[in-house]
Structure 1
């Protein structure tokens, strides 16, 4: 039982926060209300309050404050799954109830949720003694919380994931969900072609992917409820809603939940001088330099951001700028300098924890400088001309090849967004849609995507490497007056290959004009949950923010039919 007691002065807000707990499913677990909610609602100077967790065997006082104590009803939330009674009152504020339910983990939206673990793990993490606020996250704190809240692994077999992000939102009707029988004004200019899977067709301008159809699965019923770039990007990069904004579309902000790459970097940790997550060669944005939210570790902090290789001067296949040692400094000399600096920094770290944190950043920078052979994964020195030609002589194709090399070297997740190959166009085709798709977008995408599938197959790594293909949304069923298609979140196509996914499938369908799901709808959070499942992370997966608070990161349900 989670119990909140307070003075009479706090009774009005106390009554608003009564919640039903019939949805608590896991026996032996308890959940806490987060400190942020309690601070906002229950810290009146005139009120005394306490928050307790009562299990079947013990009571733990989480925190409290002395004051002018007076009698008053408090919150009493029974978290024992054997008790199914509701404790809501008639004067309950429904918005407040829903918010507290979300914070307690009783609703599907579990973006900012508190701890769920055994009492022993709770005490070990130090939260019971120190309260839920004001906690710094030292390395020992992180390890203890991570160990206590470690989720069970799923059956996913992917060791890594390559996320191909089609910035702008590709049209489902001109890629993987052709509608040749739609009426004029809805039907596109392109024809469908047969693939290596009988009965499955794709666009005629994807001939190479057509030959690989038995190795990937298409979801034709992916959807969400927004037609704006910022929300769509955030959804497809995190599987979670972005934090509310007072104005405009969400750009990159530390208030947001982490991207999949940020989660992978915290849960796996860096290895052999390489970060667990890399994002290259550009951020997801537009020509106005808007950088949409969902591309970094959000509220997890910059320690867990994917390594962003977004220098415009970088040419995929070479070490990025700044990764090379100074001229004339060889590997041995660089390593000697590093050992000397390490000894100095160790003595400084013993004096100041801040110095220790700085040292971790410095160590990563030293690893990047090229003294570690793992960073040679960025170069194409040992790639044949045939392989380079297979991926295509453009930045997207070469970036896909870098992604393949990085996952082979041990990187857990590589994000490759589409970039402006021809200076003016990505998949946001509001005008001249068919000409741009035919001449500029589909051919290089077809070549690079199919090459990645084929290359990983030949190298025996497709089963352990998931490839995910998506964008922020699809395009409108009806062609506009500028011969373009506009933003459309109600249905779009996504693709998964490798990593335990059975190839040759088409899951779900859209209606006759590709306007809405016709069967087996897959919300984008389910699509991201499927990616997490392939990587071994289930619905109980949690990450820890810099204050020590755990957060669930998987809201959706994996599409198990694809495995």
Structure 2
């Protein structure tokens, strides 16, 4: 982002700051925001990690199923994980591992809708604005995060220098959907590991103060007034523009994005890479009062071969080098950091992709994208997720998959059940209803709270 220069594009972006609305009535009937968890960091491993090559290995299966990796003992007796997740292995007694996540959507852009909202897509061709609102936007609409200096929902979607396509931007369920643009999470695309990391929406240029701030606010107003495009969306944005400019000038808000305030040793514990510093950024935002931060995996990898965690080819070499090491390091640093700061009991951490990968190496499935000899295709019948903190039990392995990691064998967990449980821990009744744009009552989520996961 350009720092110290205010061009037309920047002006329009400033005018589009969402989630700065005045007080609004609660939309979930009977909601009491007094759950043990005050915030949630969702680390979204976009693309779908291979369950049998990460958290649910099958060392006794034939080689074409179990893959190339060895397994290592964890902090829990008789529980093993992939050799390339040593940090998680040592901390498995501090988290809840779910090995029986299941659904039937093998599309990368629509499956996240299940994980982020608890609802299937109503129409596979629908635009993002027609999505069911994500958890972060629902909480924002209910007033969670009011009184803070920052937006109550932020999506970290950092750009990688790799030329891999930005599939993550078309992910359904990431935003406010039909709640409207006012409740849309702020999306941040800057690379927090870069030496010139700045957030244009939050960090004003050094000279952007006093009269100059007012002048530039006037510029944005003038640009909109002269635009031939008007809509309810732009009107909603205009209602909060003044608050947006106050946010821009807020030094405390800007400080939340200043990673240089962290000790170098701590930054290195997270990993001096895009993902590690994004996870650290999420911790700083939660600490500053942002209720929900979603960290999306960056667009790394090799175009048309293996991008994000979507390992249709190079599954083993990419997991061993590009994916597992930074993911393991960042997650463990966050877990330890939150515990050291006394924040873990009030902060949920979710570590998950939207699906898993085929049981057999090289196996292709209908609706997938195929697999090379060293790859695995899409697979949603079973995959693994980790939840920690926020009142979830520690040292629990919930559910199991069959001998090939192909289907759940015990205690299947639907995404709607996980979302219902997260809402419950955040103090929101999962049985509640939310009003849509027409004032109709719609169930917040059609899942069951999994009480056996809760402390």
Gap change, CA 1:355 and 1:471, over 3 Å in 2: closer
Residue 466, structure 1, aligned to residue 357, structure 2: no
- Once the 2 structures are TM-superposed, how far is the Cα of residue 542 of structure 1 from its aligned partner? 3.0
1:501 & 1:141 partners in 2: Cα distance? Answer: 31
Match of 1:557 among 445, 448, 454: 448
Match of 1:287 among 143, 147, 165: 165
Please give the secondary structure, in 1, of the residue aligned with 2:282. Answer: helix
In structure 2, the partner of 1:199 is 78
Q: What per-residue deviation string (whole Å, max 9, x for no partner) do you get for residues 477-507 of structure 1?
A: 0000521111000000011000001111100
1:430 & 1:264 partners in 2: Cα distance? Answer: 36
Indicate if the aligned counterparts of 1:267 and 1:543 stay in contact, CA closer than 8 A: no
Match of 1:510 among 382, 401, 415: 401
1:316 & 1:264 partners in 2: Cα distance? Answer: 33
Residue 264, structure 1, aligned to residue 146, structure 2: no
Match of 1:501 among 389, 392, 414: 392
Gap change, CA 1:491 and 1:154, over 3 Å in 2: farther
Q: Give ranges in structure 1 of 5+ residues lacking alignment.
A: 1-138, 345-352
1:412 & 1:271 partners in 2: Cα distance? Answer: 12
- Once the 2 structures are TM-superposed, how far is the Cα of residue 198 of structure 1 from its aligned partner? 2.0
Q: Give ranges in structure 2 of 5+ residues lacking alignment.
A: 1-20, 222-231, 363-371
2:234 & 2:340 partners in 1: Cα distance? Answer: 47
In structure 2, the partner of 1:439 is 321
Residue 218, structure 1, aligned to residue 218, structure 2: no
Matches within 5 A, 1:34-53: none
Match of 1:180 among 59, 63, 69: 59
Matches within 5 A, 1:120-519: 143=25, 146=26, 150-153=29-32, 156-245=35-124, 252-269=127-144, 270-282=146-158, 287=165, 289=167, 291-311=170-190, 315=194, 318-330=197-209, 333=210, 337=214, 357-422=236-301, 424=303, 425-480=307-362, 481-519=372-410
2:192 & 2:453 partners in 1: Cα distance? Answer: 40
Gap change, CA 1:468 and 1:498, over 3 Å in 2: same
1:354 & 1:190 partners in 2: Cα distance? Answer: 50
1:297 & 1:201 partners in 2: Cα distance? Answer: 39
In structure 2, the partner of 1:75 is none
2:154 & 2:316 partners in 1: Cα distance? Answer: 33
The CA RMSD over aligned residues, in Å, is 3.0
> Over alpha carbons, which structure has the higher Rg?
1
Indicate if the aligned counterparts of 1:167 and 1:418 stay in contact, CA closer than 8 A: yes
Gap change, CA 1:242 and 1:283, over 3 Å in 2: farther
1:243 & 1:328 partners in 2: Cα distance? Answer: 47
Please give the secondary structure, in 2, of the residue aligned with 1:381. Answer: helix
- Once the 2 structures are TM-superposed, how far is the Cα of residue 184 of structure 1 from its aligned partner? 2.5
Gap change, CA 1:181 and 1:358, over 3 Å in 2: closer
1:375 & 1:327 partners in 2: Cα distance? Answer: 12
Indicate if the aligned counterparts of 1:151 and 1:542 stay in contact, CA closer than 8 A: no
1:281 & 1:543 partners in 2: Cα distance? Answer: 27
Please give the TM-score of this superposition, normalised by the length of structure 2: 0.82
1:376 & 1:402 partners in 2: Cα distance? Answer: 11
Please give the TM-score of this superposition, normalised by the length of structure 1: 0.67
Please give the secondary structure, in 2, of the residue aligned with 1:162. Answer: strand
Does 1 or 2 have the higher relative contact order (CA < 8 Å, sep 6+)?
Answer: 2
Gap change, CA 1:205 and 1:355, over 3 Å in 2: closer
